[in-house]
Structure 1
Amino acid sequence: MPPPRIPPLLHPYVSLAPPDSLTLLTSVLGASTNWLILRYILGAFDTKGKNGDEAESSRLASNGDVKVVLVSFLRDWDFWRTEARRSVGLDLTKLGVEGRFAFVDGLGELFLREDGVVPASASVTVSSSSPSGIPGRAPLAVTQNARGLSIRGKTQSALAQSSAEPSMKPKYIATLTSPDLAHVEQTIQSALSSASSSSPSSPPSRTLLILDDPSILLSATLTPVHAFLSSLLHIRTLAASSIISLPADSPLVHLTHTPTPLEREHANLVVGLGHTATRVVGLRLLDSGVARDVSGVLCVGRGGAWDGDDEESGRENGVNLEKELLYYVGGDGGVKVFERGAGTNAG
């Protein structure tokens, strides 16, 4: 019998978050959050509803008032579409057509104009000649401008094709073409609006916004972290609840005596979001090393903005807000979550 798409121990934490909440996901190299983000998306569209109520689930499904907008800076649309169908059985294309899901590509064209050409205002350009004996190989141009690096090695026909692609994209897929924060905010706002336009009667409190590693905007630009946090705060107000995934590897959050500007800014970003988050979910590797039947450790904790009534017991609506679990991601995309000592057969 295949394991459940959302393991029982994980289900209380990935159900649709309450309004005005922020969940911060942290990861390290070797313990990615992509499988967890897919479970959050599935949790929002869960057929059993937030509290396992089948009647409530039927109403949500028929009204279509649960909407998710995913903004990914590390993985493209094909990855999420394929993995969602393979590992959790979600058809993101169908949900997009229904107006219940929207995707913002923050990876493919972030530093390119819509026509795929590097802006002419670039200050530094280094080109390598085509290798002899390899016909048709276009030179590779690395261009640095005020906003970062752009690499292009396309032929003119490929550039013409890329310029025609945006008009062919479905309306539920948007693309970031600039790291400028105003452009990012406007694009995400448009995606949220498109995800809600198909059902005017749908309350906006059912919209979940997921940002998959927006820290690339901080590392690729000269934006101060306080301005970046302010922009993220404004973006969060556009949806009812938000999830932000960030890397939290030791070199990025545990500063040395002489930290680089990037290390310092990234650490301030993670700490700042941790203080404004309702819940913090961290993924890390086992302290004892690699294990055949364990992929990593999942730690759930309260964020700085948690304001529950039962603070001393550390529980909210019967759910333990501070929990440490082990997880195992199988080759088929299935996930098992279990207590220490219980083994992978526990689910």
Structure 2
Amino acid sequence: MPSQAVLPPLLKPYISSPSPSSLTVISSVLGATGNWLVLRFIYATLATAPYLHDASIPRNEKRKVVLVSFLRGWDFWRGEAKRLGLDLTRLQDKSQFAFVDGLSELFSVSTRPAPSPTPVLPGSAAPRTTLPVRSAPGVVPPRSGLHPALGTSTASINDGPTPLRFSGRGTTALDGLERDILRAVDRLKSTGSKDQEEQEEVSVLLIVDQPDLVLAATGPALGIGASEMGEWLLGLQQHVHSTVMTVSADTPLIHNASTFASQQPSPLETAQAAFVTGSAHRAETVIQLRNLETGAAKDVSGVLRISKGGAWEESCDQHADSPWEEREVLYFMQRDGGVRVFGRGE
């Protein structure tokens, strides 16, 4: 466990209870990644510590998380979460958490080469093509440990990260990814006995980590652009309580596509800038992570800015009684996985 509080007090109001149907966009750069912030969203949703209880969440509401990661694998998230005291494997077994792997098999092609025919040398006998007739074998007892016993459930064998595979082009390929993700969402919603489902309302937080990888790896050649990715994300939002998305906002990807750029932007830069800015306009909250303008420092890892997104006006009434305000703070990542968030000059 880290020496600092897992949820820094300055960040707690912004990550503990996302509004229904809301989108939170986390933009990061190469030297200031957002994986530690994603883990705080997971912790705030799944941890059962008393100080995390929010009065705005009904007691009969069960909170769950689906994490879709296109840039980091299951081993990374499981190891980093364990440093915060979260056992994602156990939470997955309890149907409170699901991981959708969008990295390891996204563009893999399951093709098996056909076996080459065995050459027949001159003077050698032709290979046998039929099996010899033999007597029926006796009953051979199965070896222990190789097969599950009769009546034993094999759910533990089949459970695990859900892999995504990109197939096709354009919206057809994105629809396939959406179906696989929603299958994991529906699986979390439907777990539990019938009586529990009638008493508890399941609230699923969907976290999509770096979906812009799909945009960069496909592009116009496969009929996928910023508008298609935006519609794909909007389709996912309709099936969950709230959504958190991380994207890259490095200068070459965003500012080179502006009208003030000195050179012609590439198709990737144009699509990335359109996707990030369009998502920020549809988001309720935008959290920006960037490096210090003055360079690296021993006690500061980066700058975190929290601002209102384009959809804030639609949900401003929900935050009327909460201490929500735009702010910019500094943060420092510690070796034990903890993070210290503080204002300038503190």
Fold conserved (TM > 0.5)? yes
- State whether residues 208 and 241 of structure 1, in contact with CA within 8 Å, keep that contact through their aligned partners in structure 2: yes
User: What is the CA distance between 1:319 and its match in structure 2?
Assistant: 2.2
Q: Which residue of 1 aligns with 2:87?
A: 91
Distance 2:21 2:55 in 1: 25
Distance 1:83 1:191 in 2: 22
Distance 1:169 1:68 in 2: 21
User: What is the CA distance between 1:24 and its match in structure 2?
Assistant: 0.3
- State whether residues 102 and 163 of structure 2, in contact with CA within 8 Å, keep that contact through their aligned partners in structure 1: yes
What letter corresponds to residue 162 of structure 2 in structure 1? Answer: A
Choose which of 148, 161, 175 in structure 2 pairs with 1:182: 175
Distance 1:318 1:13 in 2: 10
Summarize the Cα distance change of 1:50–1:241 in structure 2 as closer, same or farther, 3 Å threshold.
farther
User: What is the CA distance between 1:273 and its match in structure 2?
Assistant: 0.3
Q: Which residue of 1 aligns with 2:323?
A: 319
Matched, 1:292 2:295: no
- State whether residues 46 and 96 of structure 2, in contact with CA within 8 Å, keep that contact through their aligned partners in structure 1: no
Choose which of 190, 193, 217 in structure 2 pairs with 1:197: 190
Choose which of 97, 100, 112 in structure 2 pairs with 1:101: 97
Distance 1:332 1:236 in 2: 34
Summarize the Cα distance change of 1:187–1:26 in structure 2 as closer, same or farther, 3 Å threshold.
same
What letter corresponds to residue 97 of structure 2 in structure 1? Answer: F
- State whether residues 99 and 197 of structure 1, in contact with CA within 8 Å, keep that contact through their aligned partners in structure 2: no
User: What is the CA distance between 1:170 and its match in structure 2?
Assistant: 4.7
Matched, 1:329 2:296: no
Superimposed CA distance per residue, residues 262-304 of structure 1 (whole angstroms, 9 cap, x where no aligned partner): 0000000001100100000010011111010000000000000
Q: Which residue of 1 aligns with 2:79?
A: 82
Q: Which residue of 1 aligns with 2:122?
A: none
TM-score by length of 2: 0.76
Matched, 1:171 2:159: yes
User: What is the CA distance between 1:172 and its match in structure 2?
Assistant: 4.7
Distance 2:57 2:285 in 1: 25
TM-score by length of 1: 0.76
> Where does structure 2 lack aligned partners over 5 or more consecutive residues?
115-154, 168-172
Give the number of the structure whose alpha-carbon radius of gyration is greater. 2
User: What is the CA distance between 1:21 and its match in structure 2?
Assistant: 0.4
Summarize the Cα distance change of 1:304–1:103 in structure 2 as closer, same or farther, 3 Å threshold.
same
Q: Which residue of 2 aligns with 1:123?
A: none
- State whether residues 172 and 191 of structure 1, in contact with CA within 8 Å, keep that contact through their aligned partners in structure 2: no
- State whether residues 85 and 91 of structure 1, in contact with CA within 8 Å, keep that contact through their aligned partners in structure 2: yes
Choose which of 265, 284, 291 in structure 2 pairs with 1:278: 284
- State whether residues 185 and 235 of structure 1, in contact with CA within 8 Å, keep that contact through their aligned partners in structure 2: yes
1:319 match: secondary structure: coil
Distance 2:113 2:228 in 1: 25
> Where does structure 1 lack aligned partners over 5 or more consecutive residues?
121-166, 343-347
Distance 1:283 1:216 in 2: 18
Q: Which residue of 2 aligns with 1:259?
A: 265
1:129-278 matched pairs, under 5 angstroms: 170-178=158-166, 180-199=173-192, 200-201=197-198, 202-204=200-202, 206-221=203-218, 222=220, 223-254=224-255, 255=257, 256=261, 257-278=263-284
Summarize the Cα distance change of 1:169–1:270 in structure 2 as closer, same or farther, 3 Å threshold.
farther
Superimposed CA distance per residue, residues 107-163 of structure 1 (whole angstroms, 9 cap, x where no aligned partner): 0011113x4x4899xxxxxxxxxxxxxxxxxxxxxxxxxxxxxxxxxxxxxxxxxxx
Which structure would you say has the larger RCO, counting Cα contacts within 8 Å and 6 or more residues apart?
2
User: What is the CA distance between 1:45 and its match in structure 2?
Assistant: 1.8
User: Cα RMSD between the aligned structures?
Assistant: 2.6
- State whether residues 84 and 90 of structure 1, in contact with CA within 8 Å, keep that contact through their aligned partners in structure 2: yes
User: What is the CA distance between 1:16 and its match in structure 2?
Assistant: 2.5
Distance 1:55 1:231 in 2: 30
Summarize the Cα distance change of 1:35–1:119 in structure 2 as closer, same or farther, 3 Å threshold.
farther
1:182 match: secondary structure: helix
- State whether residues 172 and 195 of structure 1, in contact with CA within 8 Å, keep that contact through their aligned partners in structure 2: no
Summarize the Cα distance change of 1:168–1:182 in structure 2 as closer, same or farther, 3 Å threshold.
farther
Q: Which residue of 1 aligns with 2:148?
A: none
- State whether residues 176 and 184 of structure 1, in contact with CA within 8 Å, keep that contact through their aligned partners in structure 2: yes
Among all aligned residue pairs of Structure 1 and Structure 2, give the percentage whose two residues are the same amino acid: 42
